[in-house]
């Protein structure tokens, strides 16, 4: 894979570092700067790491920065949903779906069921209420819950070297 020419070396190293093993401590960006200096000889300050992460987010390289939890041991369930949304309504439908804090993923696919999203909930009636509200508010009836039979967890880390 060829490195993206729009990214400089420090940005690539920062993106590699924050994907896996983000420091969980009072000053994570200082710890990240120290780790990058130690492991890669990169002379970078805490402020420079913060500014780089901000710039990468503004430029669309980072969608969100946050922890990923295994929801089941915490008492939550999640389900994949798919909807058939007219092309001229995909953007507004997607914005509405993404406005719910329980939605962890929301994306468009080239498929008759063209909008897919994941919804997390503690009680089954929360999912039922969400889907009913979504159908009522949008007038879109073809929204399907695709419950999993078996869960496969993958670890997606993309090397940007």
Task: Give me the DSSP letters along 99-119.
Answer: TSTTEEEEEE-SSSS-EEEEE
Position with higher pLDDT, 88 vs 150: 88
Mean residue pLDDT of the chain comes to 89
Domain co-membership, 94 together with 46: no
Contact call for residues 136 and 71 (beta carbons, < 8 A): no
Residue 64 lies in a domain: no
Is 93 part of any domain? yes
pLDDT at 155: 63
**What is the structure's pLDDT at 148?**
77
The pLDDT value given to residue 81 = 97
Q: How many domains does the chain have?
A: 2
pLDDT at 1: 46
Q: Is residue 160 within 8 Å of 10, Cβ to Cβ?
A: no
Is the domain of 40 the same as that of 79?
no
Do residues 43 and 89 share a domain? no
> Using one digit for the tens of pLDDT, what is the confidence trace for 3-61?
566 899 999 999 999 987 889 999 999 999 999 999 999 999 999 999 999 999 999 88
In a domain, 38, yes or no: yes
Q: Is the pLDDT of residue 156 over 80?
A: no
Residue 115 and residue 138 in one domain: yes
Give CA–CA dist 117/43, Å, rounded.
40
The whole-number average pLDDT for the span 76-97 is 95
Owning domain of residue 115: 72-146
DSSP-based three-state secondary structure for 83: strand
- Together in a domain, 78 and 116: yes
Which residue has better confidence, 140 or 63?
A: 140
Single out the residue of 128, 74, 79 nearest to residue 104, CA to CA.
Answer: 79
pLDDT category at 84 given cuts 50, 70, 90 is: very high
User: Same structural domain for residues 86 and 131?
Assistant: yes
Return the CATH number at 94. Answer: 3.30.70.3460
Q: Rounded CA gap, 83 and 112, in Å?
A: 8
- The span from the CA of 59 to the CA of 136, in Å, is 35
Beta bridge partners of 79: 119
Name residues whose C-beta falls within 8 Å of residue 102's C-beta, 6 or more positions apart in sequence. Answer: 119, 120, 121, 126, 130
Question: For 107-125, how does the pLDDT look when each residue is reduced to its tens digit (9 = 90+)?
Answer: 999 999 999 999 999 999 9
């Amino acid at each position: 894979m060829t490195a993206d020419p729009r990214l400089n070396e420090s940005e690539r190293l920062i993106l590699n570092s924050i994907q896996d093993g983000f420091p969980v401590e009072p000053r994570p960006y200082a710890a990240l700067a120290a780790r990058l200096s130690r492991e890669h000889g990169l002379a970078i300050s805490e402020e420079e790491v913060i500014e780089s992460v901000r710039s990468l987010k503004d430029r669309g390289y980072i969608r969100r920065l946050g922890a990923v939890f295994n929801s089941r041991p915490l008492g939550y369930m999640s389900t994949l949903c798919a909807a058939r949304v007219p092309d001229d309504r995909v953007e507004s439908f997607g914005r509405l779906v993404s406005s719910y804090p329980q939605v962890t993923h929301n994306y468009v696919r080239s498929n008759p069921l063209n909008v897919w999203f994941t919804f997390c909930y503690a009680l089954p009636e929360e999912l039922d209420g969400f889907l009913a509200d979504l159908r009522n508010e949008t007038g879109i009836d073809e929204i399907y819950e695709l419950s999993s039979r078996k869960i496969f967890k993958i670890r997606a880390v993309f090397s940007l070297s």
